[in-house]
Structure 1
Amino acid sequence: MNLIALGINHNSAAVEVREKVAFAPEQVSEAMADCCGSAGVDEVVILSTCNRTEIYALAPAGAVLAEKAVQLIEWMSGYHHLPSEDMRRCAYHYEGEQALRHIVQVASGLDSMVLGEPQIFGQLKSAFAVAAESGAAGAELGRLFQRVFAIAKRVRTDTAIGENPVSVAYAAVDLAGHIFSNLNECRALLVGAGETIELVARHLVDAGVASIVIANRTLGRARELADQFGAEAVLLAEIPEQLPKADIVITSTASQLPILGKGAVEQAIKARKHRPMLMVDIAVPRDIEPQVNELRDVYLYSVDDLREIVDENMRSRRNEARKADQIIALGIAEYREDLRRLGAVDLVKEFRGMADRTREEELEKALRNLARGQDPERVVSQLARALTNKLIHAPTTGLKDICAGGQREHLVQARRLLGMAEDGDSAARDARGACEGDADPLDISTDDTDHSRHTLQ
């Protein structure tokens, strides 16, 4: 398998380096064509995300993969106008079956910053689709990536690798799903407008929350975020008005003092007629006074509570990752067997073509003999005999050569290859008789006359 996987990711390089070697979507097709020409590879797929840039390439037959990997590093650094020594310090590469294993692990989310995250599967499928459409990926990478996707799907189906949330933002939304039976009827109030709140908003929208209000110190940033998710933007000063309407309150600001105190929440609960409220404080220092937890009908969780959930879920994912490794090993072994079978395809085609030509030649002879008025029964008999003789002539010659070389152990395998019954005693007798030459059962003729008799004992 002349496969190479080469690249950098979140483990091998800082974001300052990763962003320099990222490929913009509009340049990927041109880059893959340039890679095939400049680095001398037959087929290539480029995957470029915020956390990794990787090249999956097929080297020409007979190429030294380690040398080809160096060429790929040189090409990538040259393409991005970076010193090659900088690339070598943070790049990694895999060859052959190890490269295949790495690609499957990437597709399954086992090599991601967040173990088991599902987005990478779609990103890899898109990368392959672009390569296939542009002609950079051909039949061989096509077969390989279809198997990669099949194994990754099996990992997702047969393990719980992606079921438990392992980000604080997702854990907060997942918690809401456990407390409220139908999020479609819930209203969420998000306090803050940073990256964490943005992630929370995205997860809430995906979960189907009915409406979202984003409260922030500056209205401009709140509106910018609200526009992305069809939410309403308000100032922090409007929180007392919004609080009684909120079923879910999630806070993440940089305030050094609590924004929500026990009194404000108590008033909101009374206005809600004691309908339950989930409050999740992701901020450090805390945005919500701890005393709020003393109120009935309020479920208050801190960032430490969520981290306990995340840590437990991460341990669960690591256990599932071990199961995934077993599935991947089995899938790669099956692919290896399929490749071996594919190796016989050309030989089978050639052998079948030879048999077809022999059939056509003998059929033409038979038809000519029938046209001359010869006895049909005799013509058919001659046709059958000639076909048999010509089709088994080369195999029997090969069997003689095996015996002449003293390779008796191969005769049992030959019986299997020829579709003969695998009787151990008879196989041994045949091997001894054939190789010792007492009576030569392999001595057949291709004579077409009636008195010829051809046997293969």
Structure 2
Amino acid sequence: MTLLAFGINHNTASLDFREQVAFAPDQVQTALRMACHDAGLDEAVILSTCNRTELYVHGRGVEGNEGGRSALDCLKEWLVHFQDLSHGELDACHYSYQDGEAIEHMMRVASGLDSMVLGEPQILGQMKSAYAVACEAGTVGRYLHGAFHQTFSIAKRVRTETAIGENPVSVAYAAVSLAQQIFSDLKQDTALLVGAGETIELVARHLTEQKIGRLIVANRTLGRAHELAEKFSAEAILLADIPEHLHRADIVITSTASQLPLLGKGAVESALKKRRHKPMFMVDIAVPRDIETEVADLEDVYLYSVDDLKEVIDENMRSRQEAAEKARQIVTEGAGQYLQELRALGSVNTIKAFRQKAESLRNQELQKAIKALESGAAPELVVQQLARGLTNKLLHAPTKRLKQAGAAGENELLEFSNQLFDLTDKRD
């Protein structure tokens, strides 16, 4: 099979080193072609994300090349040179899998079983993108084509047959999921996001994916608020302007570094009056908190803290762990099935060659028979000679080899021949 999976990830390498190894999108196609040329590979795909960089390759070098170095050695040498890395650092944090273990690793990655957040769905899309880029670069052939399509099929089974990706396991996602439980259709709702850091950006992304009606981003500096707002077609305001806009918000999610609360009970009461007591959903992710605890006493307000979300996340993580067991079984089954199919494909060339040889012998004997008939020979004799000649020629090579096996005491070959020709119960 000669399939190799090689790489580093969040479990084996520091962020600093992952940044060094990572491939920029605009250099991947060039890197793929150079890897195939320099490392003696026939096929290659590069997956590069914030948490991992992996190369999936197939080629003559995987089990050793003309220079005597394995494909793993060639691949490592190429990667060190291409990314200007340290041999020692790469040796200390890389992993590699071959053949059956390689395809199983690919399936685990695509299914989210090897992710920092168990079951996260983005990795499957990233693998599909990596495969598509390699196809465009011309570095995908029959082996990787089959491996990736089987991988995608198994990842789809994991998603449809288990609950591994159904429950949120990040603070941002949990906050948005709780909002959906209260507001079933977010298309008509407005969300006010207080802060402009990574967590709020992730919340904005999740809300956008759920088709939120309107987004307002409030931040201490208007420049950063505008920067984030532009990414999600949102409105940008200053923290000081929140009281003027709070009544517009059906959903309020806060995550700032403020040491004092930004939203008090009075401001929320005023907003509720303007809203005619239409419910507000509020999530305070900040530590220290951005929203006064007394706000939770107000009717028509659903206020959650980061600790409330942690309980949701912990419970959902336990649920994902249970689903992961079934997912692992699906991956193991899928890898075994793929290897079985691949082994079956390995016999195709032999079967094809055997058929071609048999057809060639048939044509030779057929031409002899036709000439004999044209010269006036009796049809019965011609048919007998045709059958005899074809049988003798078909049996000549295997008969000769069986005699040699018998003389050499190659009993395994003799036993295999009995099975191959279905002779087990027909010997005297």
TM-score when scaled to structure 2? 0.92
Shift of the 407–46 alpha-carbon distance from structure 1 to 2, 3 Å rule, reads: same
**1:81, 1:406 → 2: CA distance?**
57
Matches within 5 A, 1:183-198: 183-198=186-201
SS state at 1:250 partner: strand
Shift of the 399–70 alpha-carbon distance from structure 1 to 2, 3 Å rule, reads: closer
SS state at 1:301 partner: strand
Which residue type is aligned with residue 245 of structure 2?
Q
Larger mean CA deviation between 299-308 and 263-272 belongs to 263-272
Shift of the 98–279 alpha-carbon distance from structure 1 to 2, 3 Å rule, reads: same
Residue in 2 aligned with 1:149?
Answer: 152
Shift of the 359–42 alpha-carbon distance from structure 1 to 2, 3 Å rule, reads: same
CA contact (8 A) 1:78 1:84 kept: no
Residue in 2 aligned with 1:42?
Answer: 42
Q: CA deviation at 1:249?
A: 0.8
**1:156, 1:389 → 2: CA distance?**
57
Specify which of 255, 265, 282 is matched with residue 268 of structure 2: 265
Larger mean CA deviation between 371-380 and 10-19 belongs to 371-380
Residue in 2 aligned with 1:27?
Answer: 27
Asked whether 1:127 is paired with 2:145, we answer: no
**2:69, 2:198 → 1: CA distance?**
41
Asked whether 1:93 is paired with 2:96, we answer: yes
**1:413, 1:69 → 2: CA distance?**
36
**1:296, 1:398 → 2: CA distance?**
91
Map Cα deviations across residues 334-377 of structure 1 (whole Å, 9 max, x no partner): 12212221221111111001111011112212222232233445
Which residue type is aligned with residue 271 of structure 1?
K
Q: CA deviation at 1:290?
A: 1.0
Asked whether 1:331 is paired with 2:331, we answer: no
**2:154, 2:400 → 1: CA distance?**
44
**2:378, 2:401 → 1: CA distance?**
35
Which residue type is aligned with residue 42 of structure 2?
D
Which residue type is aligned with residue 313 of structure 1?
N
CA contact (8 A) 1:176 1:278 kept: yes
Could you tell me which runs of 5 or more consecutive residues in structure 1 were left unpaired when the two chains were aligned: 421-426, 434-457
Asked whether 1:164 is paired with 2:156, we answer: no
**1:82, 1:406 → 2: CA distance?**
55
Residue in 2 aligned with 1:454?
Answer: none
CA contact (8 A) 1:110 1:321 kept: yes
Q: CA deviation at 1:409?
A: 7.7
TM-score when scaled to structure 1? 0.86
CA contact (8 A) 1:116 1:162 kept: yes
SS state at 1:37 partner: helix
Map Cα deviations across residues 96-137 of structure 1 (whole Å, 9 max, x no partner): 322222222111111111111111112112222222332323
Specify which of 173, 177, 196 is matched with residue 174 of structure 1: 177
Which residue type is aligned with residue 58 of structure 1?
H
Asked whether 1:84 is paired with 2:87, we answer: yes
**2:105, 2:421 → 1: CA distance?**
40
Residue in 2 aligned with 1:423?
Answer: none
**2:243, 2:64 → 1: CA distance?**
70
Matches within 5 A, 1:440-451: none
Residue in 2 aligned with 1:294?
Answer: 297
SS state at 1:299 partner: strand
Q: CA deviation at 1:396?
A: 5.0
SS state at 1:316 partner: helix
Residue in 2 aligned with 1:5?
Answer: 5
Larger mean CA deviation between 124-133 and 164-173 belongs to 124-133
Matches within 5 A, 1:391-402: 391-396=394-399
Specify which of 209, 217, 221 is matched with residue 220 of structure 2: 217
**1:70, 1:406 → 2: CA distance?**
41
* Structure whose CA Rg is larger: 1
Residue in 2 aligned with 1:17?
Answer: 17
Question: Which has the bigger relative contact order, CA under 8 A and spacing at least 6?
Answer: 2
Residue in 2 aligned with 1:116?
Answer: 119
Q: CA deviation at 1:154?
A: 1.7
**1:115, 1:161 → 2: CA distance?**
8
Larger mean CA deviation between 371-380 and 286-295 belongs to 371-380
**1:69, 1:232 → 2: CA distance?**
51
SS state at 1:40 partner: coil
Larger mean CA deviation between 33-42 and 112-121 belongs to 33-42
Matches within 5 A, 1:370-409: 370-396=373-399
Asked whether 1:255 is paired with 2:258, we answer: yes
Q: CA deviation at 1:59?
A: 4.6
